[in-house]
Every structure is written in structure tokens, then in C-alpha cells.
Amino acid sequence: MNDIKKYLFFSAIILFLLQGSGLAQNDSNIIGRWESVNRSNTGIGSSYVFYSDGNFDFITGAMIDYIYHIKNDRLITTFVNVFDKLVKKDTSFIEIRSDTLYQKKISNGKITNKVYTRVNPDGGNKLSIIGKWKSKNVAGQTAFYNFTEDGVLYFRLPFKIKKGTFTIKGNNISFNFQNRTTSENFRIKDEFLTVFNDEGSEQTYHKIK
């Protein structure tokens, strides 16, 4: 087998494997987590998580982004409402002990304590707040807090998670959930995924790294 035949042979095998997985080579750009750009005035949004095996999660929940900084033992967060431009600041006392974060808030003479645990406890600076934490709210739901190095705090509280499978053909994506299939058009440009249909519905999502 000469070099040209070898190249064609192995190229055919790779194409076959990609097709067998349900994803063509160019469709791999959709793999990952995407969060809605537009959210309600109460911070409700949605996200897609696409997996390379053809499965997906569709998550609806609270999605609020804060600016934060730490001064001594104080955590100061700032939230700007994009609808009414109101700015809300919050200050609390924190203490980090390895993979546990203790928070104390004092408001109108009332003290509220909260405990967080690291999502990925292995490695990293055990005294740093940087990274992903989780905690349960009063309703018993698990909320996630991602503190980034550039001073952004991403608060995420999933309400509902739908799991299903997806297939892609051209610029069309089909979702199969509980034996029900829906199809939408989509396009990806500059880390943004837009899902739309012929009826005028359109939603844009940003890729999360």
C-alpha cells in the first residue's frame, strides 16, 4: 500500500468513526457548556451542556454574576441589575479552612451563618477563595459559586435539568427528550451559539470555558 492509499484508507476510518459517534468533524465545536446571554430581571436563565457521546443536559435556574473583592476577612460583592441599573452591594465576614468556607453576615442586628465546601478539593491554594464552591440553601437545594481570578463571582442555582440526546445535520440540531423530538436551526460564531427556528424564536448562548 503506497502513501496515498494509506492516507485515503486512514482518512476513511476516521470519517467513519466520527459519523458513528453522531458528530461530524466540524460539529465538535458545539461540545461543552453554553449559558444564555439574555436572562429575566430576576436572574433566571438556561444553559446547554453538549457531550461528545451525543447526550445533552438542558438546565434552567438562577444565574447571577457579581463583581467581588476581598479586604482582610471581608467578602464584598457588587451586583448591577441590567434592567433598572440599580447597584446592590453586600459585605460579609469569611474564614477559609482548607476546603471549607465559613461566611457570616450581619444585617439589622441579625447574624446569618453559611458553610461552603470546595467542589474540586484536590490541589490548589487551600487558603484561596478562587475556584468553585457549593452550599445548600434553606430549601435544601445545592447552589454553586465560582470565584474567578479576575474578580467575578458566578452564582448558579439549578432548578430543573432535562437530559436527552442530540443529532446534528448541517445547520439543524435535533433534540430527543423522553421520546419527543424537536428540531431547531443553529449557528456558532465567536464563542456564541444561536438556536433559532422558522417561527422567529431565537436564543443566544455564550460558551463557558
Lowest mean pLDDT among 18-32, 67-81, 108-122: 18-32
How much is the pLDDT for 2? 55
Picking from 75-79, 105-109, 120-124, 201-205, which range would have the lowest pLDDT averaged per residue?
Answer: 120-124
Q: What cell was used for 94?
A: 469569611
Q: What is the mean pLDDT of residues 170-175?
A: 95
Residue 13 pLDDT exceeds 50: no
Q: For residue 22, is it left (φ>0), alpha (ψ between -120 and 50) or beta?
A: left
C-alpha 92/C-alpha 73 separation (Å) is 8
What's the pTM value of the predicted model, to 2 decimals? 0.78
Average pLDDT value over all residues in the chain: 87
Residues 74-92 have a mean pLDDT of 91
Residue 181 has pLDDT above 50, yes or no: yes
Distance CA 157, CA 159 (A): 6
Kindly list the structural domains of the chain, giving each domain's residue range(s) and its CATH number in brackets, ordered by start.
Answer: 3-37+44-59+160-208 (2.40.128.280), 62-157 (2.40.128)
Q: For residues 180 and 186, is the Cβ–Cβ distance under 8 A?
A: no
pLDDT band at 122 (very low <50, low <70, confident <90, very high): confident
Stretch 85-97: mean pLDDT = 94
Q: Where would I find the beta strands (DSSP E) of the chain?
A: 32-36, 44-50, 55-71, 74-80, 87-97, 100-107, 110-118, 131-136, 142-147, 152-169, 172-177, 180-189, 192-196, 202-208
In this prediction, residues 27-54 reach a mean pLDDT of 94
- For residues 68 and 103, what is the distance between their CA atoms, to the nearest angstrom? 14
Band of pLDDT at residue 90, cut at 50, 70 and 90: very high
